[in-house]
Amino acid sequence: MVIVPEIFVGEGFWGSCSAEWKNSYERVGEKYGTTMNILESEPRFFLKDQIVRTGMYNDRLVWGEDYDLYVRMRKMNVKETSCRSKIYHCERVSLREILLKILRYGNSMPAYTSVAEQRILLPLIGHSVLTFKELMKERREDPAIVPGCAILLGLKAYFFAFGLIVGSVSRVQEVDDSY
């Protein structure tokens, strides 16, 4: 499996804020290390036979499906490497698209935590706090990016939490229905 470093880019104000946030998030991981191995970059390229041997992607997961596969492959001692080339990841442009994606991710978090061997919510929150601190330290050409990132962080936290609550309720109903 091959890890390819990502550079996030975005068009428009919200796309730029989202890209800036994600680039800072990655830098925090490099600077402070990862927490509970959940914040590492995942590989983007795999040998087909290794994916099949590992059991493929878990199609029940919307969020963390790539990381879940990565963890399972590491447990099976699949060789990994990284390359010096970079991949450019285009962020969503509209605030609506960004927030709907976060809502879906929050909604799918209970499914991820039911299959994962670790809890990730607190490490994600801690990493987000460090990311915001790093954002505040850096100087930018566009001074509106930092306040935009702050607004985006607040909105994303709200939508993620709402999705998490809805996903948790759905999960409880699934369990009740199975009895």
In the chain, where the domains are located: 2-174
State the average pLDDT over residues 117-136: 80
pTM of the model: 0.78
Q: Which of 86, 99, 72, 80 is nearest to 157 (CA)?
A: 99
Greater confidence (59 vs 154) lies with 154
State the average pLDDT over residues 122-144: 81
Q: What is the C-alpha to C-alpha distance for residues 68 and 42, in angstroms, rounded to an integer?
A: 9
Taking the mean position of all CA atoms in its chain, how far away is CA 4?
15
Greater confidence (71 vs 29) lies with 71
Is pLDDT at 9 greater than 90 in this prediction?
A: yes
pLDDT digits (tens, 9 = 90+) for 31-45: 776 554 455 567 888
Lowest-confidence range among 28-32, 73-77, 133-137, 170-174?
170-174
- What pLDDT score was predicted for residue 36? 42
